[in-house]
Amino acid sequence: MRRRALNRTDRRVNIALRVLCLGAGLLLFVALAAIVEQVIVGAGPAINRFGLGFLTRSSDWNPPAQGATTAESYGAPLYMYGTVVTSLLSLIFSTVLGVSIGLFLAIVAPRRVTLGGRWRVSPAGLIGPLVELLAAMPSVVLGLIGVLVILPFFHSTVDPVIHAVLGWIPIFAKTYTAGNSLFAASAVLTIMIVPIIAALSRDLFSAVPQELRDGAEALGATRWEMIRGVVLPVTRSGVTAACMLGLGRAVGEAIAVEQVVGGQNQGVIHASLFLGGNTLASMIAANDPATPVTKLEGASLYYLALILLVFVVVTILAARWIAGDFKAKFR
Amino acid sequence: MSALTPDPAHALSASGNLARRQLISRIFVSGTVLACGLAVVVLAILILYCAVNGASKLSFAFLFGGAPGIGPDIVGTAELALIAVLIALPIGVLTALALAEFASARLARAFQVALELMAGLPPVLLGVFVVILIVKHWHQSALAGGVAMALLEMPLIAATTLQALRSVPEPMRNGAEALGVARWRTIVGLVLPAVSGAILTATILATARAAGDAALVIFTAGPDFAASSVQIDPTQGIPNLAQHLFTLLDTGQAAAAWSAAFVLMVIILAANIAARVLLTRNNRKLGL
């Protein structure tokens, strides 16, 4: 094989760039491995103390007062329950809303609306970027809106109505005095993940070949039948993956949830969605692991972080797997 | 192709009378309009509430002065963002290059999975990780906060850069190759300039997201203190907007929180709009 006509500097820089790039890429793996390893190590004392029983032992989160020697006891089920309930509830709301918005932007919205004969606007071109702006809203600001706008509104209007009509069902039973609840947290999470699902599913719906849609309509299908019969089945796995990505965000959101979820640590799982609760992420955010009361409390917080890590990784891998299925179909 | 052809018998068979079908269709289609309207209303509520409640209390002293003003917080957020970009931008771009230009197909797949995992990790976990890695052994500081923010930004920058790298036309690379140009010269002189717009956009968007995420900084960037003057020592704790807002909320100071939220929101939305305008112009330049 003939040597390539490169001078020595070029050859050296080539190799240097290659090493630099692959090194940076390697850093990614190192960072991921370090995150997993460090969280496990950090949780060590709690793992030693409670073992897997941490996942099932219902308990208060009561770190002892400074200097006291009472036995400490921590457990995760309350927070796992909060995470599962809030994220699934918000997933249901935001799938319906997000997919609807995606359908509107990609299919339903008229291409162009003429206003007063001169102004022509495209609704999708106008609303699409607004939805993306909603996705960019910082979570502390959403938390603020949650506390100062959504909670009072829920407390005065939504909660009493739902309670009055459906109060005989346990999950709608009691309402909490300030409005902080798992339900309120789900509402705030919904605002967070609707734009994610909407933007992703809009892109999917727009990619459905026009001929397929035209074919359906030519056969006499109504708009909705075309959507249900053609658009949704074709994009099903892609939309599911988008929802899983949204779910991943909901599971891990700490700040906005912490503000509105109520944070009641009575060690009891309430059936009612309208009572306060806590999620894994909000519990970590509310109890700064950098300055724990005792070592064991800090380790238990890391244990919660480890559980959260497992939840999130499973969601991401599931999303990837489903999306891969989608890509394979399209090829 | 077969997957693209759904079962036509499912929804296309005419069932019932046409009027009923059209009514159902109209109900669902109006449902999508309603959902869209709801999203716009929620966005309007978010912006209007912050603007109405926050803007009235804005003053020169509040914006640029020390506590109870937020001058030091704005400077602190800017410094954190700078530290984070200095870390995340080179690593993110190099990772994308590794994936697109150097890695074998199998390694590229592994990189891709790692990137997706990294991008999906919740900010609060990144904060916890930095606590264990840095804060426990040292102390809360702007550097630690910057690292947490960089961990969030890196996969975002890498993913967007990668997408741009893959859309660089192959003939461009082949032409350079045919002329006997060294690989690194092709990358530095041809490929990177072509994607620089995308990199810039991605960096702005990622920075805006990290700067607005309090979960990254509440454990890492220092105890929140109502700073009376600007602090810039990166080895010490630093006041910043997201954390300040979180503390204001936690301690029930609603009035000040509205103004801080308004400022944070304006900064982040402006960055987002700027990034999108930039991207559109860049795409037009590339003829996309």
Do A92 and A139 share a structural domain?
Answer: yes
B125:A35 CB<8 A: yes
Determine the pLDDT at residue B94. Answer: 92
pLDDT at B194: 84
Is A287 part of any domain? yes
A311 lies in some domain: yes
Does A3 reside within a domain?
no
- Select from A43, A158, A259 the least CA-distant residue to B249: A259
Task: Say whether residue B38 is in contact with chain A using an 8 A CB cutoff.
Answer: yes
Joined together, the tokens standing for residue B261 give: 């939220």
Considering only alpha carbons, which residue of chain B is nearest residue A327? B3
Residues A43, B72: Cα–Cα separation, whole Å: 35
| pTM > 0.95 | no
Predicted confidence at residue B225, as pLDDT, reads: 63
Q: Which residues of A touch B257 (CB under 8 A)?
A: 144, 148
Contacts of A100 (CB under 8 A, 6+ apart): B31, B32, B34, B35, B36
Tell me the backbone φ, ψ of residue A277, rounded to 5 degrees.
Answer: -155, -160
B33 touches chain A (CB under 8 A): yes
User: What's the pLDDT at B90?
Assistant: 93
* Closest-CA residue to A247 (of A2, A29, A83): A83
Our CA angle for A5, A9, A12, nearest 5°, is: 95
Expressed as residue numbers, the domain containing A36 is 8-52
For A277, the 3-state DSSP assignment is strand
Distances A136 to A322, B37, B97, B259, B273 between C-alpha atoms, Å: 26, 18, 27, 19, 10
Chain A: closest CA distance from residue B194 (Å): 18
Whether residue A2 lies inside any domain: the answer is: no
A102 domain-assigned: yes
**Interface ipTM:** 0.84
Q: How many angstroms away from the CA of A240 is the closest CA of chain B?
A: 16
The answer on A204 and A134 residing in a single domain is yes
Residues of A in contact with B242 (CB under 8 A): 138, 140
Q: Is B192 in CB contact (< 8 Å) with chain A?
A: no
Give the whole-angstrom CA distance, residue A12 versus residue A157: 70
Sorted by sequence, the CB contacts under 8 Å of residue A238 that are 6+ apart come out as A200, A201, A204, A323, A326
- Count of C-beta atoms within a 10 Å radius of residue A99: 26
Phi-psi region at A267: left, alpha or beta (left = phi > 0; alpha = psi -120 to 50): left
A65 inside domain: no
Q: Are residues A17 and A115 in the same domain?
A: no
Q: What is the DSSP letter of A208?
A: S
Directed axis angle between helix A232-252 and helix A77-103, to 10°?
Answer: 140
The domain spanning residue A298 has which CATH number?
1.10.3720.10
Nearest CA in chain B to A124: B36
- The pLDDT confidence band at residue B196, using thresholds 50, 70 and 90, is confident
Q: Is B42 part of the contact surface with chain A (CB cutoff 8 Å)?
A: yes
**Residue from B128, B152, B278 to probe the interface with A (highest A Cβ count within 10 Å):** B128
Please check whether residues A26 and A124 belong to one and the same domain: no
Does residue A67 form part of some domain?
no
Interface of A with B in 90-129 (CB under 8 A): 96-97, 100-101, 103-105, 108-109, 127, 129
Q: Is residue A30 less than 8 Å (CB to CB) from chain B?
A: no
Phi, psi of B170 (to 5 degrees): -60, -40
A to B CB pairs, distance under 8 Å: 295
| A125 shares a domain with A36 | no
A12 and A136 in a single domain? The answer is: no
Considering the domain architecture, whether residues A41 and A185 belong to the same structural domain is answered as no
As a whole number of angstroms, the longest Cα–Cα distance in chain A is: 85
Task: Tell me how close the Cα of B178 comes to any Cα of chain A, in angstroms.
Answer: 12
A252 & A298 share domain: yes
Is residue B95 within 8 A of residue A21, CB to CB? The reply is yes
Pair A199, A319 in one domain? yes
User: Per the omega criterion (within 30 degrees of 0), is the bond before B122 cis?
Assistant: no
Q: Which residue, A201, A189, A85, is CA-closest to A137?
A: A189
Residues A41 and A147 in one domain: no
Q: Nearest-CA neighbor of A102 among B27, B37, B32?
A: B32
- Average pLDDT estimate for B187-206: 88
- Identify whether residues A83 and A48 lie together within a single domain: no
Distance from CA of A156 to the nearest CA of B (A): 18
Domain check: are A213 and A296 in the same one?
A: yes
Of B152, B161, B144, B141, the residue nearest B207 (C-alpha): B152
Decide if A304 is inside a domain: yes
**Residue A137 and residue B118: Cβ atoms within 8 Å?**
no
A199 in contact with chain B, both atoms CB, cutoff 8 A: no
**Averaged confidence pLDDT in chain B:** 83
Provide the number of structural domains found in chain A.
2
B35 CB within 8 Å of a chain A CB: yes
CB neighbour list of residue B42: distance below 8 Å, 6 or more residues apart: A134, A191
* Residue A315 tokens, joined: 């969601």
Of residues B85, B61, B206, the one with CA closest to residue B146: B85
Q: What is the pLDDT along chain A (331 residues), one digit of tens a residue?
A: 445 567 888 888 888 888 888 888 888 889 899 999 988 988 888 888 887 877 777 666 777 766 666 677 787 888 888 899 999 999 999 999 999 999 999 988 877 777 776 777 788 888 888 888 888 888 888 888 888 888 888 888 877 787 777 777 777 766 556 667 888 889 999 999 999 999 999 999 998 888 888 898 888 888 898 999 889 988 888 899 899 889 988 998 888 888 888 776 555 677 777 777 888 888 888 887 777 777 888 888 888 899 999 999 999 888 888 877 656 555 4
Distance CA A143, CA A260 (A): 7
Subunit contact B218:A27, Cβ cutoff 8 A: no
At residue B154, the pLDDT reads: 93
Nearest to A22 among B35, B98, B211 (CB): B98
Can you give the pLDDT at residue A95?
94
CB A14, CB A264: distance < 8 Å? no
Sequence-distant (6+) residues with CB within 8 A of A246 are A91, A94, A95, A98, A193, A196, A197
Given a contact cutoff of 8 angstroms between Cβ atoms, the answer to whether A121 and A234 are in contact is no
**Out of B12, B45, B102, whose CB is closest to A221?**
B12
Assigned token pair, A227:
């959507």
Residue of B nearest to A109 (CA): B33
B182·A6 Cβ contact <8 A: yes
DSSP string, A87-117: HHHHHHHHHHHHHHHHHIIIIIS-S-EEETT
C-beta separation of B47 from A112 below 8 A: no
In sequence order, what are the beta bridge partners of A262? A277
Q: Report the 10 Å Cβ neighbour count for A288.
A: 16
Query: Across the interface, which of A139, A224, A313 has its CB nearest the CB of B117?
Result: A313
The whole-angstrom separation of Cα B266 and Cα A141 is 11
A127: left (phi over 0), alpha (psi -120 to 50) or beta: alpha
Tokens at residue A92, please? 């249901």
CA gap B60, A270 in Å, rounded: 48
